[in-house]
Every structure is written in structure tokens, then in C-alpha cells.
Amino acid sequence: DQQVKQNSPSLSVQEGRISILNCDYTNSMFDYFLWYKKYPAEGPTFLISISSIKDKNEDGRFTVFLNKSAKHLSLHIVPSQPGDSAVYFCAASGPSNTGKLIFGQGTTLQVKP
């Protein structure tokens, strides 16, 4: 039973355009959501997070949107840059805040120059 799903294994966008990565979850008890970026041969790097009491969080070029009723979150990258090419994982935690993260399968983003 996969509680966090990223249904698009890959995404390709042109440099300067918007990248939108999507994530769906099934457990309504999740209350904290995170996005990580991973380059080959490296560990995941934290990008941005959002608490379930918010519907939007922005950090520079990165914005995460949360739609609790749809159990859906998305990461927007504007403008996309070639250095953003990586695997993006969404993750969820809660409600006991053990810190345990449930990860999606990841979406490989390719930003073409």
C-alpha cells in the first residue's frame, strides 16, 4: 500500500519555463510534507516543506502547494534551470511526529537548455 504516490516517473521542460511536479497521498493523518532533490551518487537534499495548516509555501524559485481536500501537493519551479535536473521526491510525515518520512517513488526532471 503506497501512501505517497508520484505518478509521473519523468518530466522534461525547457529552460526558463515552469516545472510542475505532482504528488498524491492517501493518509489523511499526514500533517507535514516535504520535497527533496536527489542527484546521482548523492543523498537527498531538502528543498522545501509545508505544514498541513497552510496551502502554500514559497522559497525563491520553489513553491509548494497543498490541497488537503484532494490529498494532493505540487512543487512549482519557476524559472527552471538546467541545474534543477535531478530526481525529486515528495515525502510526508505525521501525525505522531516520529520524524518517519514516507516517500514517493520520485520524478526525474530534465531541464533542457
Q: Which residues bind to other proteins, rule: CB under 8 A?
A: 4, 31-32, 34, 36, 41-46, 49, 51, 89, 91, 93, 97-106
77's grid cell: 519551479
In the complex, what is the shortest distance from the CB of residue 17 to other proteins, in angstroms, rounded to a whole number?
26
Angle at 102 (CA atoms; ends 59, 12), nearest 5 degrees: 55
User: 87 near 108, Cβ under 8 Å?
Assistant: yes
In the complex, what is the shortest distance from the CB of residue 32 to other proteins, in angstroms, rounded to a whole number?
4
Query: Could you give the CA distance from residue 89 to residue 101 in angstroms, rounded to a whole number?
Result: 11
In the complex, what is the shortest distance from the CB of residue 9 to other proteins, in angstroms, rounded to a whole number?
9
Nearest CB to other proteins, comparing residues 30 and 85? 30
